[in-house]
Amino acid sequence: MNAWRRIDLRERLAMAMAGGLMAMAVTAAGAAPPRPLPADLESAKSEPAAVSVQGDTVYYTGNFSKASQAAFDTAVAGIGRGQLTRLVIRSGGGDTAAGRHVGRWVRDMALVVEVDVICFSSCADYVFPAGRARVIRADAFVGWHGNERQFEVLAARRGGRLADELSRYAPPNLTPSQRAAFVQDFQALLAVTRPDEDDFYARLGLSDAFAVCAVGDVLEKRPGYAGQKGWGFSLDDMARLGLRHTVYLGDGRYEQASSRFRQHLVPLSADDCLALLR
């Protein structure tokens, strides 16, 4: 069996977009052994996710994966629009298709999305934007580090082909023919999932700029970079990027008051973000 086919290509896509929550556990120099994640962040990558319905609220704690999607579907089976008012989520991200699956359900149910501790990567890409309104609890954070369009953005920035960009994510030690087949399979997967991602944002009436603008080494080049794992925005800048009706429950300005924001995210303005995609 070819090496990459031992891993579902959807998993490979998630791995290609990974590095966020998992990378928070490594030392600044990348040396082993990694620092253990705090318990509240560790639970955000639970597999499968823990999903339950209590009163008018669905609670989701863990990653996005096929198994987590199945757990989610079981927990919300038979629930109709109007029976729930909010989704409380703590997630470090994961599988993009599973993230959009939850996001579409949130949109269809017209729920408020409330972030408990962390909403990162696929959670920030697909679930957070899908809420009819958004709440960030005190000291919680919402962080982005790319979506499926990132491969096209990176290829354009490097002046190369998409195939060359995708080749960077191939498993090591492949023969040239195996690497070519990996890239071909990866492109075939994106030919299905990228239109689905575009459709997702179109149905929300949003540009995906907030999710993709600072991919690559953009953050590392900014003054004051200190090993943060993604980027975030003030509430005002979220609104400018289409993420309106967002509130922070802590005291002070969200991007300044949340210690987790300051630790894990580089602040970007909406203007910075949009300029990076021109």
Which residue(s) pair with 246 in the sheet? Answer: 134
pLDDT of 87 > 50? The answer is yes
pLDDT attached to residue 13: 73
- For 126-149, the pLDDT digits (tens) are 999 999 999 999 999 999 999 999
Q: Against a cut of 0.85, is the pTM above it? A: yes
Task: Give the Cα separation of 184 and 190 in Å (integer).
Answer: 10
Interval 94-113 mean pLDDT: 97
Task: Give the Cα separation of 25 and 227 in Å (integer).
Answer: 12
Q: Are 239 and 129 in contact (CB under 8 A)?
A: no
- For 1-45, the pLDDT digits (tens) are 455 554 566 776 776 666 555 455 443 444 445 567 888 899 999
Average per-residue pLDDT for the chain: 91
Chain-centre distance for alpha carbon 95: 9
Which residue(s) pair with 91 in the sheet? Answer: 119
Look up tokens 């021109």; give the residue. Answer: 278
Q: Are 129 and 204 in contact (CB under 8 A)?
A: yes
> 4 versus 214: which is more confidently predicted?
214
Measured CA to CA in angstroms, residue 79 lies from 88, 105, 109, 183, 190 at distances of: 16, 11, 9, 41, 32
- For 163-192, the pLDDT digits (tens) are 999 999 888 889 999 999 999 999 999 999
Q: Which residues contact residue 154 at a Cβ distance below 8 angstroms, ignoring those fewer than 6 apart?
A: 165, 215, 216
Count CB-CB contacts under 10 A for residue 112.
18
Banded model confidence at residue 109, pLDDT cuts 50, 70, 90? very high
Amino acid code (one letter) for 228: Q
Q: Are 204 and 130 in contact (CB under 8 A)?
A: yes
- For 111-121, the pLDDT digits (tens) are 999 999 999 99
Q: How much of the chain, in percent, has pLDDT values that exceed 70?
A: 88
pLDDT attached to residue 15: 65
Closest among 53, 64, 129, 55 to 90, alpha carbons compared: 64
Task: Give the Cα separation of 87 and 189 in Å (integer).
Answer: 30
- For 148-161, the pLDDT digits (tens) are 999 999 999 999 99
pLDDT of 260 > 70? The answer is yes
pLDDT attached to residue 143: 98
Task: Give the Cα separation of 139 and 117 in Å (integer).
Answer: 7
3-state secondary structure of 247: strand
Interval 76-83 mean pLDDT: 97
Chain-centre distance for alpha carbon 147: 7
Closest among 111, 236, 192, 2 to 102, alpha carbons compared: 111
pLDDT attached to residue 30: 47
Buried-state track 163-191, b at ≥16 Cβ within 10 A, e below 16? eebbbebbeeebeeebbebbbebbeebbe
